[in-house]
């Protein structure tokens, strides 16, 4: 096993950490006051703040943020920041602040009550300060440590009665369920909003996680969510109020016909959850392009359409089994990441925790969706983490209009982008922070670099690297977005290349780095085939690409000769 320090060195070597440090976000950035400007979340100056959060649960039976038996709070918080997340969606159960049989407990009492002897010993060793604290004080101390690490916090009311979430019949699903008395809920929200009103890094409160179950209905949704939103805003007008939908937060479609009515403006956003299993095993059992198109359209119809209506929609839970062996998850991820990049969504990854003190009766349960390993000592899977980190950079929105909009050629399965390491080397996958600015002309199918528009991307044959050059446009430089997912970028092979004819799709070479073309895979029909390596997304960005422009300026390209075949 890799040691923790060598893992950190590896992240640094890959340059992730420095890409995360946004140049115009000063120290103390977590103390920002957020509001909304149409679909964007912005700071006091009106500049976009892209929420790139990770979930950290504190709502299970012990009511203490997971992992404090494994590492000191400050070390975990520092890792969250080092991994490039800028915020934590921190969950809490209502009863922790409304019900004396829970709220009166210290950390030690809470763990003793559940016989969590080993966990308690771990907490004593790693976080001795919290052992004798009341649960809410331990919670506050964690929020404060996140602030010390420049991390924003969204307080998420996850359940009423502490425990694993979410089943339709657990009494926590909808207003009126056994544990979900609306007045108690509003009281809990008010208490939390009041308690954290003076805490600068608490920037948002989400009203209730994953409403669901037989009682759910939109009339009660308006009645109670509006009441909850008003209560939070009255107690703490600084925080962004975040509203989740019905059916496990998969459904905000009802808002299309009836807007939410709030007394305040520019302080409310919506959240949506999207997992592979939100659609059962559809990803694994269908053709991935067809499933991606169908489910993508459905998520748009159910939630993301609100962006066009001028509301921020935070993808506040998404994630995959990080062991890489879950076909349903793998196919879903490429599609969901393409959507998240395309719309430049705010998001919160499920999830940080490598383990739970106690989940569904199991001690020290391993969380395979966790970014951290079971020991909380480093990333569970550095490859999976890197993919998610690609979604951390804001691409557009207020304050990110430094350049005329251009396209980024994003490869969701790796989280890398098509870059040109130097003017003489072939194109390859590299960090999206060093991306090329592409232009795609739909009419004649040209894919060109914005700054050398006369050179087109060419398919050179199966298994061969693509190249930038002349002449164009011709068949081999006429790119179409084929397949229902529109994630395959295809051109027709040269009949003279000797390597076959027919459609070739952008792909990743056998070295895992070069950008090649290969016969297009499983465009339709076939459900046994995985196309993810051929999935590329043209994503619009208006971020400055100053570094690349400098490189190009240093080496002026002469285009007089049509003999230039390759750069």
Q: For the CB of residue 464, give the shortest distance to ligand NAG in the complex, in Å.
A: 17
Among 403, 503, 551, 557, binds ligand NAG (CB under 6 A): 503
63 binds ligand NAG (CB under 6 A): no
* CA–CA dist 380, 208 (Å, integer): 29
227 binds ligand NAG (CB under 6 A): no
488 binds ligand NAG (CB under 6 A): no
In the region spanning residues 143 to 162, those forming contacts with ligand NAG, defined by CB under 6 A, are 161
267 binds ligand NAG (CB under 6 A): no
Closer residue to ligand NAG in complex, CB, 134/260: 134
CA 276 to chain centre: 14
The closest alpha carbon to 428, from 507, 513, 535, belongs to 513
Query: Are 97 and 184 contacting, i.e. CB atoms less than 8 angstroms apart?
Result: no
Closer residue to ligand NAG in complex, CB, 512/525: 512
Per-residue CA distances from 439 to 59, 407, 467, 557 (Å): 47, 6, 15, 18
114 binds ligand NAG (CB under 6 A): yes
Q: For the CB of residue 279, give the shortest distance to ligand NAG in the complex, in Å.
A: 19
Crossing angle for the helix pair 73-82 and 135-148, nearest 10 degrees? 40
In the region spanning residues 1 to 60, those forming contacts with ligand NAG, defined by CB under 6 A, are none
Closer residue to ligand NAG in complex, CB, 149/485: 485
Among 324, 421, 453, 500, binds ligand NAG (CB under 6 A): 324
In the region spanning residues 348 to 407, those forming contacts with ligand NAG, defined by CB under 6 A, are 381, 383-384
Among 478, 521, 537, 548, binds ligand NAG (CB under 6 A): 478
List, as one string, the DSSP characters of 203-265. EEEE--S---STT--HHHHHHHHHHHHHHHHHH-TTSEEEEE-HHHHTB-GGGGTS----SS-
Phi-psi region of 530 (alpha: psi -120 to 50; beta: other; left: phi over 0): beta
> 3-state SS of 410-446?
EECCCCEEEECCCCCCCCEEECHHHCCCEEEECCCCE
141 binds ligand NAG (CB under 6 A): no
> 3-state SS of 271-327?
EEECCHHHHCCHHHHCCHHHHHHHHHHHHHHHHHHHHHCCCCEEEEEECCCCCCCCH
226 binds ligand NAG (CB under 6 A): no
492 binds ligand NAG (CB under 6 A): yes
Which residue minimizes CB distance to ligand NAG?
A: 324
Closer residue to ligand NAG in complex, CB, 95/270: 95
Query: Are 517 and 462 contacting, i.e. CB atoms less than 8 angstroms apart?
Result: yes
The interface region with ligand NAG, picked from 141-149, 450-458, 477-485, 511-519 by CB under 6 A, is: 477-485
Q: For the CB of residue 363, give the shortest distance to ligand NAG in the complex, in Å.
A: 11
Which letter does DSSP use for residue 46 in this model? S
Q: Are strands 152-159 and 202-206 parallel, antiparallel or unpaired?
A: parallel
435 binds ligand NAG (CB under 6 A): no
Q: For the CB of residue 354, give the shortest distance to ligand NAG in the complex, in Å.
A: 13
- Report whether the peptide linkage leading into residue 260 is cis, meaning its omega lies within 30 degrees of zero: no
**H-assigned helices in 448-556:** 546-554
Closer residue to ligand NAG in complex, CB, 252/493: 493
In the region spanning residues 155 to 194, those forming contacts with ligand NAG, defined by CB under 6 A, are 161, 184
The interface region with ligand NAG, picked from 94-102, 212-220, 335-343, 462-470 by CB under 6 A, is: 94-102
Which helix (H) or strand (E) covers residue 87, if one does? strand 87-93
The interface region with ligand NAG, picked from 255-263, 394-402, 485-493, 546-554 by CB under 6 A, is: 485-493
Q: For the CB of residue 355, give the shortest distance to ligand NAG in the complex, in Å.
A: 16
Go through 337-354 and write b for each residue having 16 or more CB atoms within 10 A of its CB, e for each that does not: bbbbbbbbbbbbbbbbbb
480 binds ligand NAG (CB under 6 A): yes
**H-assigned helices in 470-563:** 546-554
99 binds ligand NAG (CB under 6 A): yes
The interface region with ligand NAG, picked from 50-58, 62-70, 93-101, 458-466 by CB under 6 A, is: 93-101
Which residues are registered as beta bridge partners of 234? none
491 binds ligand NAG (CB under 6 A): yes
Q: For the CB of residue 184, give the shortest distance to ligand NAG in the complex, in Å.
A: 6
Binding-site ranges for ligand NAG (CB under 6 A): 95, 99, 101, 114-115, 161, 184, 322-324, 381, 383-384, 478, 480, 482, 490-492, 503
């Amino acid at each position: 096993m890799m040691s923790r320090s060598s893992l950190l060195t590896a992240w640094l070597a890959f340059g992730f950490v420095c890409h995360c440090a946004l140049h115009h976000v000063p120290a103390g950035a977590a103390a920002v006051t957020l509001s909304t400007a149409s679909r964007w979340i912005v700071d006091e100056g009106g500049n976009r703040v892209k929420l790139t959060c990770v979930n950290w649960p504190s709502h299970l039976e012990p009511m203490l943020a997971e992992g404090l038996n494994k590492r000191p709070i400050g070390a975990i918080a520092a890792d969250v920041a080092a991994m490039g997340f800028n915020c934590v969606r921190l969950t809490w159960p209502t009863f922790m602040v409304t019900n004396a049989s829970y709220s009166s407990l210290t950390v030690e009492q809470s763990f003793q009550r559940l016989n969590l002897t080993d966990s308690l010993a771990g907490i004593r060793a790693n976080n001795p300060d919290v052992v004798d604290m009341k649960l809410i004080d331990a919670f506050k101390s964690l929020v404060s440590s996140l602030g010390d690490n420049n991390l924003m916090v969204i307080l998420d009311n996850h359940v009423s009665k502490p425990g694993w979430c979410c089943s339709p019949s657990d009494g926590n699903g909808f207003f009126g369920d056994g544990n979900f008395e609306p007045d108690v809920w509003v009281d809990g929200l008010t208490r939390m909003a009041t308690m954290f009103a003076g805490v600068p890094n608490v920037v948002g409160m989400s009203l209730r996680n994953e409403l669901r179950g037989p009682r759910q209905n939109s009339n009660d949704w308006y009645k109670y969510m509006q009441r909850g939103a008003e209560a939070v805003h009255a107690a703490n007008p600084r925080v962004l109020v975040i509203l989740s939908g019905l059916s496990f937060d998969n459904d905000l479609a009802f808002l299309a016909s009836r807007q939410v009515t709030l007394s305040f403006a520019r302080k409310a956003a919506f959240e949506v959850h999207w997992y592979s299993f939100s659609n059962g095993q559809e990803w694994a059992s269908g053709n991935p392009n067809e499933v991606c198109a169908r489910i993508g359209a459905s998520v748009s119809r159910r939630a993301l359409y609100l962006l066009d209506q001028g509301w921020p929609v935070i993808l506040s839970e998404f994630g995959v089994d990080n062991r890489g062996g879950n076909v349903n998850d793998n196919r879903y991820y490429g599609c969901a990441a393409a959507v998240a990049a395309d719309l430049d969504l705010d998001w919160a990854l499920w999830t940080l925790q490598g383990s739970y003190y106690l989940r569904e009766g199991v001690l020290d349960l391993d969380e395979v969706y966790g970014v951290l390993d079971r020991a909380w000592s480093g990333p569970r899977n550095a490859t999976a983490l890197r993919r998610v980190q690609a979604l951390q950079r804001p691409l557009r929105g207020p304050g990110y209009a430094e350049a005329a909009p251009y396209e980024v050629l994003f490869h969701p399965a790796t989280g890398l982008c098509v870059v040109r390491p130097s003017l003489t080397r072939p194109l390859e996958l590299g960090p999206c922070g060093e991306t090329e600015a592409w232009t795609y002309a739909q009419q004649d199918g040209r894919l060109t670099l914005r700054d050398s528009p006369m050179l087109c991307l060419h398919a050179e044959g199966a298994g061969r690297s693509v190249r930038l050059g002349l002449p164009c446009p011709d068949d081999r430089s006429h790119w179409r977005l084929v397949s229902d997912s529109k994630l395959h970028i295809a051109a027709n092979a040269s009949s003279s290349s000797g390597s076959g004819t027919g459609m070739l799709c952008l792909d990743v070479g056998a070295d895992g780095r070069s950008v090649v073309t290969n016969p297009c895979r499983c465009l339709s029909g076939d459900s046994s085939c995985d196309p993810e390596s051929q999935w590329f997304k043209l994503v619009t960005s208006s971020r400055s690409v100053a570094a690349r422009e400098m490189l190009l300026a240093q080496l002026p390209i002469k285009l007089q000769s049509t003999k230039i075949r390759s750069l």
